[in-house]
Amino acid sequence: MNDLKSLLDELVEAGSNPKKTVLKSMQDTKKEAVGCFPIYTPEEIIYAAGYLPVGMWGGPTDLKLADKYLQGFCCSIMRSNIEYGMKGTYSFLKAVAISTFCDTLKCICENWKVAVPEIPLIPVVYPQNRMIEAGKEYLNEEFKRVAKELEKLSGKLITEDAINESFEIYEDFRAAMREFTVAVSTHLNTIDAKTRHLVIKASFFMDKKTYTLKIKEITKELNALPKEDFNGIKVIATGLIAEPTALLDILVENNIGIIDDDLSQESRGFRVAARKEGTVYERMVSRIVDQRGCTFLFEEAKTRGAMLIDMVNKHQADAVLVIMMKFCDPEEFDYPIYKEEIENNGIPILYVETEQQMDSAEQIRTRIQSFAEMLTVEV
């Protein structure tokens, strides 16, 4: 138990202090870092190129410079990233990779070039329809183009052995994360909502091999413990990101545990394993093709609602918690569709709107307290 607490404390600390963790990881690995904007940035290629991929998920900051390039109704994370870039917070980065999944991300690609010209940009453009053959072929070629861009940056070729080894490291990481979230679902007293989030978040700032060893040890320690009876409220969290931290504190205060999630910063990034056949780039494509229920990937059938209902039933969860980061258009477009499906199945659903520059979380506190009281009365 002492080992488990020690490991959890270490990763919670790492997840709570991104820049400190990144600088330590750079020192430990002797690698330069490449920043990865959300979401689905092909970190395996960056890792194979000899760099340390690090997540760029914004954070709380006074927005003074970013408004020159992004309107107030743009995504809170993107505004923070531009602000940090212009303030020099990311001066240690060798480059940034930006995927273009929404209108704001598309604009950021051009804004970054003039707002933060000292840090080179590598865009990653995903196909609109990833399921047709043309989409798969395009994405395969796009990943190879990104590899070429990284080779220019480093002055070194990415060998076949390097990309194969890197991909296996990331597949091992993703499998370990799936096992971790399963273990957490039966230990919600030991792993509360805030601890779960920060432990997963730490993975964005550490070398994946180092992090994977630690998360495997945590899972092993959890599985050695008896399954816990959790007398609080079990929710499925969905959305882009479970922040700010004040939101997680409120969940913990109200004895609400996250038994599973559909969050871009968390399970969406590792819930799909690559297919076994094909080249390494084709296997990377397969992970994107096989992803379902993600608002950022075109899916005519819109299976997110059915997926969330299945998750509630599988875990016997009490409700779905929608964490809506201002102003994430793709997430907002999906919400009315899956909300109706979830309500039609008699599942309680709570919508909370957040942003990284919140001055006060008291409105959220009131909503969550009221929701928790309603569910407690029903139970």
Q: How far apart are CA 241 and CA 150, in angstroms?
A: 28
Q: What pLDDT, on a 0 to 100 scale, did the predictor assign at position 131?
A: 94
pLDDT above 70 as % of the chain: 99
**pLDDT per residue over 56-81, tens digit each?**
999 988 898 999 998 888 888 999 99
Q: How far apart are CA 159 and CA 340, in angstroms?
A: 49
**pLDDT per residue over 211-270, tens digit each?**
999 999 999 999 999 999 999 999 999 999 999 999 999 999 999 999 999 999 999 999
The answer to whether 299 and 287 have CB atoms below 8 angstroms apart is no
Output the six-digit token pair for 258.
Answer: 């996250």
Output the six-digit token pair for 320.
Answer: 């779905």
Q: What pLDDT, on a 0 to 100 scale, did the predictor assign at position 378?
A: 57
Answer whether 0.75 is exceeded by the pTM: yes
Q: Which neighbouring-strand residues pair with 231?
A: none
114-122 mean pLDDT: 97
> Which regions of the chain does DSSP assign to beta strands (E)?
33-36, 52-55, 93-99, 121-124, 233-239, 256-263, 319-325, 349-354
Identify the DSSP state of 270. T
**pLDDT per residue over 13-56, tens digit each?**
999 999 999 999 999 999 999 999 999 999 999 999 999 999 99
**pLDDT per residue over 9-23, tens digit each?**
999 999 999 999 999
**pLDDT per residue over 279-336, tens digit each?**
999 999 999 999 999 999 999 999 999 999 999 999 999 999 999 998 899 999 999 9
Please confirm whether the linkage preceding 143 is cis (ω < 30° from 0). Answer: no
Q: What pLDDT, on a 0 to 100 scale, did the predictor assign at position 167?
A: 98
Q: Which residue has the tokens 């990779």?
A: 97
Does 1 score more than 70 pLDDT? no
Q: How far apart are CA 181 and CA 311, in angstroms?
A: 13
**pLDDT per residue over 309-324, tens digit each?**
999 999 999 999 999 9
Q: How far apart are CA 134 and CA 157, in angstroms?
A: 27
Terminus-to-terminus CA distance in the chain, angstroms? 32
